[in-house]
Every structure is written in C-alpha cells, then in structure tokens.
Amino acid sequence: MALIVQKYGGSSAGDAGRIKNIARRAIATKEKGNRVVVVISAMGDTTDELVSLAHQITSQPDEREMDFLLSTGEIVSSTLLAMAVKALGHKAISLSGSQAGIQTDNTHSAARIRAIDPRRITRELDKDNVVVVAGFQGVTEDLDITTLGRGGSDTTAVALAVSLGADMCHIYTDVDGVYTADPRLVPEARKLKEIDYEEMVELATYGFKVMHPRAVEIGQIYSMPIYVASSFNDNAGTVIRGGIPMEVRNKVRGIAHDSNVAKITVLGAADRPGIASAIFEPLAKANVSVDTIVQNASVDGITDLTFTVARDDVPKALKVVEPIAESIAAKGCVVDSDLGKVSIVGTGMQNTPGYAARMFTALSDAGINIELITTSEIRITCIVNRGKVVDAVRALHKAFELDQE
C-alpha cells in the first residue's frame, strides 16, 4: 500500500465546487489502494484578502498576529475539504499544521521547518482516514502559529512526504506541469516531461511560480521525486527528480521572470573594508533578501553600491539602509522600483561559452536595455525595465529555441 501526499493550491480550491473536485480526486487515489494525505492551500485569493484586511487596520501589523490571521485561510479550506470527503461517504479528518506535528523556528512570515512529528498523521491514516493538512503553517516551541512564506504549502507538502516516507509528492495546480516559461506569457512554451532538482531550484527562485523553491530544495536534499500536474485534468505532468543524464541537458532548460524587482543605490560610499558588511548584514537580519549586488569601480576612494530587492521589500530595506548610508557619510540612496528580471537557466551552460552573448544579442535585437547582469554556474539574469519583461521572456524563448525538444 503506497502512501501519497497530494497538494492542491489556492487556484484549485477557489470555491465549493472545486473543493468537491479535490475530494473526488483524493478518494479516487485512496480507492486505488493508497494511503492519502492531502495538503491544501487557502481558497483562491483568501491570503491576499487577509493581508489587505490587516493593512486596513494598521499599516504595520504585528507579525505574530499576522501569521495567526493568515493561517486561518488554510484552516477554512482544510475543514471544508474534510467535510467534502465525508459527504462522499469516506473517512476524513482535517489537521492544522500544528496538529500535524509541523514544528518551525519563530521567524514569523518566513518560518523554517525544524522537525515534523508525523505520529498523529500516521494514527489517523491507520484509522483509514484521508488526512487533510492545512498547508503553509507550523507552530513554534512556544505554541505560536507561524507561516512558511507565500506559496509555502508546497513546502508543507514536500516536507510531509519526506517525513512520512511517501513514494512521491504530487503537486496539483492550475497548469498541466512545468513549462519552459510561464505558459500564460509564452503560448509556445513546452511542457517538460522531467527536470532535474538543480535546474528547478534555480528556475523557481528566479520566477517559476509553479513551485516554491524551498519545496524543491527539500525534495533535492531528501531525493523525494515531485510530480507537478493539473488538478483539473489527468494529462501527464512533469517529474522533478535527480540524476537526469547529462546528454539531454545540454541546453537552456527554461526562461524565468520576475516583475517585482527594485534597485537601491547607495551613492558616494567610501571604498574601504567593512562598508558592504555594514549594509548587508543588517539587511539580512531584517529578513530582506538581496539579489544582485554591483559595486562600481571607485574614483578617489568613493564608490556607488547597487543592489536589488523585491519591490515589496523597499520600505523595509530603506528603513535599514538610509541610517547606515548617513552613518558612513554616503551621499544618499536612490531607488528605481520599476524593474523586473529575466533569467536563462540550464546545467548545460556550465563551462560552455556563448550563452551570455546569445542572451544579450536577443535582448538587444528586441530593443531591450539591460540595467544589471548577474550569473551563477547555471544561470544568467538580466535586470530590465518592468514594462519590457514579457517581451524579454518571449524573445529569449525564441532565441534559445525552447519550443523545440
């Protein structure tokens, strides 16, 4: 008897009809002789609506209360799903993240799973239940509710699959699998049959929203295969796994994009040891994730330091950086919030020249100006004007012939 962990995202649980659809799918999986754990996200846009509600009360909601509030979205959907399964004549129980044994650190809104105690889930499976677990949440040692970061139900699902010793983790969503680029932007994007963890972590980090990067990372660390497919049909999806042979990798695997980028420049900072750490350490402590960092060549011991953050993090970043800029006698900070990034990713790019040049040519042919460039061994990212992101993704998809196998 196999144990299967299935996760359904918010778009697959938008209304009562869709929750009933999930119930039917979970039951069908059980009737094939499997033990079934279903992780579910909040219905539709519930999490966004709760965030907006909190901001109507106060511009700076308390982070503990915020996490407690946001966790209710998944409580609603998981209880309704358990009811739907029961209404169809099968046994089911819903569990909050805390009841499911998901213990986290106390970083509110971006908590990390420390450990999972799967005993309660196992007991409920032994009683023949479909076990429905509220995604995206856990509990601290002090019994405070935490959330795992937006999109975090994927992380709940893969972590549970690992801790329960499942054969595979199934992620059901509103697209048929992982495509070479967001299929909503690029009609000729091609569905991948399989993709290696390493490439998927990079693509998810740089914008493939279909999977949360931390969930893929957990899959990679524990060699848990992840199957991404549609919750609305039975079309074959995409398997994310390790060990995909090198010969079929010698290509760009996907074009990721992110339209939520801002650039902050600290002007006229002294070029001496300690300045970068004076800026980036407090940013890390404030939980602001910094991506591209560029330091200009200094003139007369003075330099400009530029870095990018998510646009939503600009207020938090400025609160940290402006006083530091003043204390190191920099001339000030300037912000450009109207940026996005496009990335090409593929393990086939390692040690192979020419990819960067092809990328820059394709962007220049499409009349797109590159603001900043960063690379890793398997990725090249260009920061461009936000209004040009879609054109850039399409141009790169074409230039690297990703519509062809």
List the x/- string, 32-71, binding to ligand ASP by CB under 6 A: ---------xx----x------------------------
| Tokens matching residue 5 | 């962990």
| Tokens matching residue 162 | 């690992």
What is the C-alpha separation between 404 and 227, in angstroms, rounded? 22
Type of residue numbered 3: L
List the x/- string, 292-321, binding to ligand ASP by CB under 6 A: ------------------------------
Tell me which stretch binds ligand ASP (CB under 6 A): 97-105, 151-159, 303-311, 314-322: 151-159
List the x/- string, 1-20, binding to ligand ASP by CB under 6 A: --------xx----------
What is the C-alpha separation between 276 and 281, in angstroms, rounded? 8
- Radius of gyration for the alpha carbons in the chain, expressed in angstroms and rounded: 23
List the x/- string, 293-332, binding to ligand ADP by CB under 6 A: ----------------------------------------
Tell me which stretch binds Mg ion (CB under 5 A): 31-39, 148-156, 159-167, 349-357: 148-156
What is the C-alpha separation between 63 and 290, in angstroms, rounded? 21
Judged by CB under 5 A, the residue of 97, 101, 138, 151 near Mg ion is 151
Q: Which residues contact 73 (CB under 8 A, 6 or more apart)?
A: 41, 42, 43, 46, 47, 50, 136
Type of residue numbered 23: A
Choose among ligand ADP, ligand ASP, Mg ion, none what residue 136 binds, the Cβ cut-off being 5 to 8 Å by kind. ligand ASP
Does 181 participate in binding ligand ADP (rule CB under 6 A)? yes
Tell me which stretch binds ligand ADP (CB under 6 A): 3-11, 120-128, 158-166, 286-294: 3-11
Type of residue numbered 158: V
Residue 10: CB minimum distance to ligand ASP, A: 5
Residue 74: CB minimum distance to ligand ASP, A: 6
Does 355 participate in binding ligand ASP (rule CB under 6 A)? no
| Tokens matching residue 3 | 């144990």
Does 252 participate in binding ligand ADP (rule CB under 6 A)? no
Does 219 participate in binding ligand ADP (rule CB under 6 A)? no
What is the C-alpha separation between 177 and 161, in angstroms, rounded? 19
Does 207 participate in binding ligand ASP (rule CB under 6 A)? no
- DSSP one-letter code for 232: S
Question: Which class for 405: exposed (0-12), middle (13-18), buried (19 or more C-beta within 10 A)?
Answer: exposed
User: Would you say 40 and 71 are in contact if contact means Cβ atoms under 8 Å apart?
Assistant: no
Residues in the chain: 405
Judged by CB under 6 A, the residue of 74, 182, 198, 202 near ligand ADP is 182
Does 151 participate in binding ligand ADP (rule CB under 6 A)? yes
User: Would you say 399 and 368 are in contact if contact means Cβ atoms under 8 Å apart?
Assistant: no
Number of residues that bind ligand ADP (CB under 6 A): 19
H/E segment holding residue 194: strand 194-196
Judged by CB under 6 A, the residue of 6, 12, 78, 205 near ligand ADP is 12
In this complex, which beta carbon is closest to ligand ASP, that of residue 9 or of residue 237?
9
User: Would you say 97 and 136 are in contact if contact means Cβ atoms under 8 Å apart?
Assistant: yes
User: Would you say 223 and 151 are in contact if contact means Cβ atoms under 8 Å apart?
Assistant: no
Residue 202: CB minimum distance to ligand ASP, A: 20
What is the binding site for Mg ion (CB under 5 A)?
9, 151
Binding region for ligand ADP (CB under 6 A):
9-12, 41, 151, 173-175, 178-179, 181-184, 208-210, 254
